[in-house]
Chains A and B, each alone.
Chain A
């Protein structure tokens, strides 16, 4: 069979990105990574992955665009309302028993989930003693998350999901619309720390009572999934909560024994580590 040039070029791209810029994508789920890299090739009008590699090596100003294209994509506010409902009813009551609450939003992308969470904490009267650490490995994504500006066309559907999540006001109470954009209240960020953290290479970030990491693990290979889940287990206080994406599975991971299920469909787990 003829050699698969795309596969060879993808390996070389990953190697070049790691050696030139220190980002290691070698443990990302291959099919999704390949599709994104091919997307970058198309987006920049290049002929093949090799050209992308070459440009990334020689042109340092090109790197942020590459990282932005490869980082975890935009979510939407209150995605899967039943998950937020479950957080509100099954997790918040326990969080309320702590004098101060640490929450780690790992892989925050453009911040949709951070703002969603901040709103629900506010309405539950917990926000003022909460600290949310929102991390991502893309500085461009973090900058966008800090801004809290989203297209207005997303706001209507988000309002509905907010209601379904058990929100007690209207979502419009939390943003200002201007032209075709909405900007979320800056006060929602008053207890949020945005920070660069790479789940593939960095270690324990904080001691958390709740970790949200939804639809990030699906982009990792099994080895990196295991590493990340072990990192989460180490970062949670005993009895701390972990919330994953609704199609993500703990069952196959070696860290599975560190967690007990709180809500299966919402993928909410609780640390049962005996320490």
Chain B
């Protein structure tokens, strides 16, 4: 069975811009994955940017996939991106109904999987401009995206 995604529309996602400055510095003694997830749990989206070559990467890694440098640095991205592709997964109404799975290209040049919330009709179009938000539930905090108007 596929784990049900947490109900996205019944919760109020926290605005990305408001959340991102609230948290203490993440524990840098941990590896990149825990560092990233810990920041995310606290409402801050972090992205790795290599201090050598200047390129971004996702998911977080213990090296720079572009130039092999060690210890890529961290930045807080704009949170803005564009829907690259979208699929609506069919699910029975009693299990929560259909939900979308999207790939979002962040303006910094990395791609990640997420949901688009606050979009009428479930299936957001490819090219939709979106902004990162945080969605909290008893299972934790996760990154989702909300439309910011317009297609690219």
The answer to whether A and B interact is: no
